Amino acid sequence: MKKAIIFSIILLSLLFVSCILAGEPVTVYNTEDWKFTVPFGKSYNYADILVERAVDGDTLKLENGERVRLIGIDTPEMHESEKLQRDSQRTGRDVRTIQELGRRAYEFTKKLVEGKRVSLEFDVEKYDKYDRLLAYVYLKKDGTFVNAEIVKQGYASLMSIQPNAKYANLFLKLYQEARNNKRGLWK
């Protein structure tokens, strides 16, 4: 009997810890008539959340401290990184040029979303390997599709990674129009 009680306590403890780490409330008991939930973990309303700041042209920081990587787009790097070096080698452009383009993309994104309320739409995967949220972002005020607007105005290239490719065809169309019309970074 003592072993069963100890086992139950350990099992409940593991449940609480795993739910906290997963960021979900803990439901201890649930029937049709009664539910007991312990409000551990994070539970955010991603349908209406404030963008605290733009981190760069394709990453945002929310009021809850989480970072959001905009799905389907890629803006030039502003800061020294391995990706900046790879992009320089791949494109044949010098690092300073890429960083300047990155600053321009960042300024566009900053003006578009910083300090504004947004809603997030998720695709198949909710997080990337860096534990950032992966999302399509919409301005609450007027419904502007942020990911698409950045591409449409010429401040991003495409980065479609399966299985998160819900709007890949739309982004491709907007990207081609921006390049053909020499908008944003394509001037």
Query: Of the residues 66, 104, 132, 149, which is catalytic?
Result: 132
Tell me whether residue 77 is one of the annotated catalytic residues.
yes
Query: Of the residues 66, 69, 104, 149, which is catalytic?
Result: 69
Query: Of the residues 66, 77, 104, 149, which is catalytic?
Result: 77
Residue type, 130: Y
Tell me whether residue 69 is one of the annotated catalytic residues.
yes
User: Tokens for 119?
Assistant: 């809603």
Name the residue among 150, 152, 120 with its Cα closest to residue 137: 120
Tell me whether residue 103 is one of the annotated catalytic residues.
no
- Distances in Å between the Cα of 168 and the Cα atoms of 22, 52, 120, 127, 173 are 29, 27, 17, 18, 9
Q: Are 154 and 179 in contact (CB under 8 A)?
A: yes
As annotated, the active-site residues are 69, 77, 132
